[in-house]
Amino acid sequence: MNLEKIALWPLKILSIECGIGGRKRWLILKMMSLFVARSGHRSTHLFGKRIKIDLRNDVDRSVYILGRCLERYFLRQPLAMLLKDCAANDSNQTFVDIGANSGMYSILAKSYGYSTVCVEPEPQHVDFLERNQAVFDVVCPVALGDESGKVKFFVSSDKSPGSSSLVPWEKDAEMTGNVPEYVDVGLSISFSVDLLDRKNATLHGLFTFDLLIFLFF
């Protein structure tokens, strides 16, 4: 067993959990960066699904290092219970994850039998999602808004990868010591009904808008 696997082993067996943000996550990633390579390809499993990892991408590295911690965290969330309950009533549904981040809820939804649509504009997360499109079904690399066009996002540094906002997030700058950068991303709402129709999906499903949940029946 190599040093990388030895270092990651406690995170797999101990009851440690963390979400996609926060100081605990940042500290774990910083500590594990001493043992995990900055390049190369790996694979891991989340909620029973095989995930491809490119260690050059900080989002991939986070998922690779924190896999079991993320599973424990997301399985305890109310949305996980709702997904499970809805799947018990009808597993032939589509889960639309708007602001998907690294797609944790989408992977969980896939494990319950849903088809999934991930909508995410942040470049590093898009790279991760598209690399694993076989798991996520449909990946839309755009943000949603009230009109089509372009918008500038503040995207955080590699010390806190993937955080993005339309306005500067002072707390992130305090934690990482870095000011987020600007990037251009697509802005579109035209995908929703047309995309679902093309994929023969149903509107009787579960939509998430970051932390807001909307049920369509």
Angstrom CA distances, 75 to 54, 80, 137, stand at 25, 6, 21
* Residue pointed to by tokens 């995908």: 191
pLDDT of residue 88: 86
Angstrom CA distances, 47 to 8, 138, 162, stand at 18, 18, 21
Which band of pLDDT confidence, cut at 50, 70 and 90, is reported for residue 128? very high
Buried b (16+ CB within 10 A) or exposed e, 169-192: beebbebbeeebeeeebebbeebb
Looking at the DSSP bridge assignments, the partners of residue 205 are 216
Query: Considering just the CA atoms, what is the radius of gyration of the chain in Å?
Result: 17
In tens, the pLDDT along 169-194 reads 555 555 544 455 554 444 433 334 44
Phi/psi of residue 70, nearest 5 degrees: -65, -40
Domains, in order of start, for the chain: 3-75 (no CATH), 78-148+188-216 (3.40.50.150)
Give 180's DSSP letter: P
Q: What number is the average pLDDT over the span 100-117? A: 92
Q: Quote the tokens at residue 164.
A: 């993005």
